[in-house]
Amino acid sequence: MGTTETGIVSGRLSPAEYDRNFSDLHPSLDEHEALVASDRCYFCYDAPCMTACPTSIDIPLFIRQISTGNPIGSANTIFDQNILGGMCARVCPTETLCEQACVRNTAEHRPVEIGRLQRYATDIAMRDNVQFYERAEPTGKSIAVIGAGPAGLACAHRLAVKGHDVVIYDAREKAGGLNEYGIATYKTVDSFAQKEVDYVLSIGGIEIRNRQMLGRDFSLNDMLSKHDAVFLGLGLAGVNALRAEGETAAGVEDAVDFIAALRQSETKSDIPVGRRVVVLGGGMTAVDAAVQAKLLGAEEVTICYRRGKDNMNASEFEQDLAASKGVTIRHWLQPKRILTRDGKVAGIELDYTALEDGRLVTTGETGVITADHVLKAIGQTFEADDLGAIALQCGRIVVDAEGHTSLERVWAGGDCVLGGEDLTVSAVAMGRDAAESINRALAAATQPVVAVA
Amino acid sequence: MADLRNNFVGIKSPNPFWLASAPPTDKAYNVERAFKAGWGGVVWKTLGEEGPPVVNVNGPRYGAIWGADRRLLGLNNIELITDRDLYTNLREMKQVKMNWPDRALIASIMVPCDENAWKAILPLVEETGADGIELNFGCPHGMSERGMGAAVGQVPEYIEMVVRWCKQYTRMPVITKLTPNITDIRKPARAAKSGGTDAVSLINTINSITSVNLDTFSPEPSIDGKGSHGGYCGPAVKPIALNMVAEIARDPETYGLPISGIGGITTWRDAAEFLVLGAGNVQVCTAAMTYGFKIVQEMITGLSSWMDAKGHRSLDDICGRAVPNVSDWQYLNLNYVAKARIDQDACIKCGRCHIACEDTSHQAITQYVDGIRHFEVMEDECVGCNLCVNVCPVQDCITMVGLEPGTLDERTGKVVDANYANWTTHPNNPMARQAAE
């Protein structure tokens, strides 16, 4: 086997190499490391990190709680704003959010390690199964949450806290959405996504029904007739097509499927990968796929992106990570045609591109990269079938500031709504805020009439 | 190169950095290492009278408080005077002094408040060739319960009496070590001077409980579930020590009395501050116990570099230079007006100055200007209190700037007066009004 066998094959590495390659990228801080790291926080007033956090976690407070030996109180501060604070601590692009805003950058160019500190506190609370929330008195109301991803889970948890009953319908085998299927393995090891789902559900009052797909197993109207309100946290189920010759050849694969298969594999030795892999795209998905292809033992992995480095959606940190793992990132290359031999991928022909008056054009020059495995990470799309008359814009659901859609009793959040940022943490914020809005709406509807004397 | 040679009441040492009488100076092994590292002198750990030595606890002796990154800020201890045989100590002292004739070696002594006890020990100490003695009237724990240490230091009459005995029975210079566990440090200093002391040294440690174990409810350091107050030292006590040194240095009754400064000295800068406030040399303990003897190299080079940069050639050029500037509050110039200024290039926008001023002081620092996070002093509200300077995490980002005479103080609406005027003549002072009438 090894890295030099041509073709898409599994088992390129020894079990020990797989274990090493797919272990935790940033292991949890130990107590001493956490105390040293937390000492660097200045406890800023109206802290810029907090403003930069989509869920507005009180970061100075939770770090101060760590520094005074109170990690449980710290976790409580985090979960109050973000019940998926454990996953966000692992997957948030902190270098473009809280840690970018950290005032330590100004004088020292090195922020407080907010993400790792958040993981420290939440890991302790979850390890000890400390529960911070109790359900309010039952309201007798029932809400359907469609999609058990970050938005749906955050919404369901907040609704359960308010005393409502929640049923989550999810199309997949397991709950968690992208947390379970869409994140690189080395960012969330040891079945953390499922542990987090269990932790969220331990509040009670939330039932999950798996393998239940909107449009196939039920309709939106079914939900509206059975429940008092509906929250749509559908995510992006579709992927963009390449629209290039040879796209159907064996060896052309969607990066999201590749990543999902990796997450569901115990040993990784059963996941096939090419000798020479080309990944198309410039976002986090492209980097996650490319790095993991390399970690699976591919000899050469090249990311081809049709614009420049500055346009890449993958953060600087992710790009550096890819480079450090031996992935080559090439810019200004746009796929023209998949080259095949015997129905299998043999390479990819690419157009060189340039910006002309702000418009991306091909220069006429082309190049070929030899490849036996092409992974497409050129964007995901929202599949809006089965949503009836709901208002859409740019192919996404339109919501108001509270997450309410154009339909009565229907709220939405996460990647499926217009303005969604393709971030776990933003999805959590939208789910949480929609739950508050649903709760207000249901309370207003049942407000007893008070006689005014 | 600045000349750091020190002559303290006739005791010569190559630099003004002595190790204080404490655990680091309990035996020849440690003192030899200290001299090799470059310490100018050593006050040997306190000797007691002949006979069975004191015993120490067999559990923890030290408690502590820490700052960020677990920097040791304050240490306390419940260790007693030397628990080694008197003659072992004397023999080692003699040998060390022979090995290091250019270094100062002082014997710290604590025996009962009885003339014969002092009369007995002084010749034994003198025989070692020690350069002087230090009377331990400061130790606040254990020994004070037996009528020694701070129990003597808290009664000026006893101090005077014992100092007189010592001056009578030895030719060695006498340094009287004072306890800070007293209301007015000038009283024991005056008593020591009346008794004829050659110098005072201060401060000894402060009565303290550093922390309480919240699982066992025992004070730390905990000995089988109980704790006792211990002597507090380290960087945290420096401000208390500086004030006490300055009080003695500027007291007309003790003016000119040589002082060996002690209390939280950790860097050359700390040492220089003691020297300019009237100390003739300094003694160090906690810094060495925290970092080892090597720190003296930082102190020597730091003091030397600063003196070179400022053109001070010898210790005489700097000793006591700040004493004339220590004043009673009532003589401070009330016409001096200062305002905080924030260097916007250095500001990291943490907002700490704003919230400190907003919540706890004078509402004189902005948070937003034109909708942008921006911290700026509003001169019409700033009283010049300096709190923002002290809470700012960036050195020199916020500074206090004195207003030039003739300029307008926007807060009071008054023009800054070039003339000095203090509280004693201020119209709001009832005493001043009475005098005028």
Q: Output the tens digit of pLDDT for each of chain A's 453 residues.
A: 688 999 999 999 999 999 999 999 888 999 999 999 999 999 999 999 999 999 999 999 999 999 999 999 999 999 999 999 999 999 999 999 999 999 999 999 999 999 999 999 999 999 999 999 999 999 999 999 999 999 999 999 999 999 999 999 999 999 999 999 999 999 999 999 999 999 999 999 999 999 999 999 999 999 999 999 999 999 998 999 999 999 999 999 999 999 999 999 999 999 999 999 999 999 999 999 999 999 999 999 999 999 999 999 998 899 999 999 999 999 999 999 999 999 999 999 999 999 999 999 999 999 999 999 999 999 999 988 889 889 999 999 999 999 999 999 999 999 999 987 789 999 999 999 999 999 999 999 887 666 665
Tell me phi and psi for residue A25, to 5 degrees.
Answer: -65, -45
Distance CA A333, CA A318 (A): 20
User: Could you tell me the sign of the dihedral formed by the alpha carbons of B341, B343, B346, B347, in that order?
Assistant: positive
Evaluate whether A375 touches A280 at the Cβ level (below 8 Å): yes
Q: Which is nearest to B47 in space by CA: B118, B99, B102, B147?
A: B118
Burial-class residue A57 by CB neighbours within 10 Å (0-12, 13-18, 19+). Answer: buried
Q: What are B2's two structure tokens?
A: 């600045």
Q: Cα–Cα distance between A227 and A144 in angstroms, integer?
A: 6
Question: Are A42 and B394 in contact (CB < 8 Å)?
Answer: no
Q: What confidence score (pLDDT) does residue A91 get? A: 94
Of residues A35, A39, A107, nearest to B348 (C-beta): A107
Contacts of B330 by beta carbon, 8 Å cutoff, 6+ apart: B422, B423, B424
- A109–chain B Cβ distance below 8 A for any pair: no
Q: Look up residue B317 and give its amino acid.
A: D
Quote the radius of gyration of chain B (alpha carbons, Å): 25
- Give dist(CA B431, CA B437) in Å, integer: 10
pLDDT at residue B145, as a whole number = 80
**How many other CB atoms are found less than 10 A from the CB of residue B253?**
12
Report yes or no: A63 and A89 within 8 Å, Cβ to Cβ. Answer: no
Percent of chain B residues topping a pLDDT of 70:
99
ipTM over 0.95: no
> Residue B145: helix, strand or coil by DSSP?
helix
pLDDT for B12 equals 98
**Closest-CA distance of chain B to residue A42, Å:** 7
Q: Quick check: A117 and A37 in contact, CB under 8 A?
A: yes
B393 interfacial to chain A (CB closer than 8 Å): yes
Q: Distance between alpha carbon A55 and the CA centroid of its chain, in Å?
A: 15
The minimum CA-CA distance between B265 and chain A, rounded to whole Å, is 24
| Rounded alpha-carbon distances, angstroms, from residue B316 to B3, B7, B321 | 10, 10, 9
**Residue A451: per-residue pLDDT:** 61
- A59-67 helix and A114-127 helix, angle to the nearest 10 degrees: 70
Mutate to test the interface with B, among A36, A42, A63 (most CBs of B within 10 A): A42
Question: Could you tell me the two tokens for A429?
Answer: 């914020």
Beta-carbon contacts of residue B161 (< 8 Å; ≥ 6 apart)? B113, B195
Q: Is A106 on the interface with B (CB under 8 A)?
A: yes
> Tell me, what DSSP letter sits at residue A132?
-
The encoded tokens of residue B42 equal 């050593």
Q: Which pLDDT does position B437 carry in this prediction?
A: 61
Per-window interface: B 56-85 vs A, CB < 8 A: 68-70
- Residues of chain A contacting B349 with CB distance shorter than 8 Å: 44, 48, 103, 106
Residue type, A282: G
The three-class DSSP label of residue B34 is helix
**Helix crossing, A284-295 with A316-324: angle to 10°?**
20
Q: Measure B379 CA to nearest chain A CA, in Å.
A: 21
DSSP assignment letter at A203: T
Domains of chain A: 31-127 (1.10.1060.10), 142-237+382-445 (3.50.50.60), 240-378 (3.50.50.60)
Residues of chain B predicted below pLDDT 70: 433-437
Strand pairing partners for A155?
none
Q: What is the pLDDT of residue B432?
A: 77
3-class SS at B109?
strand
Please spell the DSSP secondary structure of A245-301, one letter per residue.
BTTTSBTEEEHHHHHHHHHH-SSSTT--B-SEEEEE-SSHHHHHHHHHHHHTT-SEE
A42 touches chain B (CB under 8 A): yes
Q: How many angstroms separate the most distant Cα atoms in chain A?
A: 87
- The model carries a pTM of 0.91
- Residue in B closest to A60 by C-alpha: B350
| Set B139, B382, B392, B397: catalytic member | B139
Interface residue A46 vs chain B (CB under 8 A): yes
CA B228, chain centre distance (Å)? 23
Left, alpha or beta for B110 (phi > 0: left; psi -120 to 50: alpha)?
beta
Nearest CB partner across the interface for B352, out of A42, A48, A106: A42
Any catalytic annotation for residue B139?
Answer: yes
Maximum C-alpha span of chain B? 80
Partners of B68 on chain A (C-beta within 8 Å) are 39
Contacts of A46 in chain B (CB under 8 A): 351, 355, 367, 373
Q: Looking at residue A452, what is its pLDDT? A: 60
For residue B249, the model assigns a pLDDT of 98
Cβ atoms of residues A329 and A319 within 8 Å: yes
HSE-CB of A193 using CA atoms within 13 angstroms: 24
Nearest by CB to A48, from B349, B354, B394: name it.
B349
Q: Tell me the two tokens of residue B196.
A: 């004829």
Are the beta carbons of B367 and A46 separated by less than 8 Å? yes
A47 CB within 8 Å of a chain B CB: yes
Residue A127 token pair: 């390890």
Burial A95-109 (b: 16+ CB within 10 A, else e): eebbbbbbbbebeee
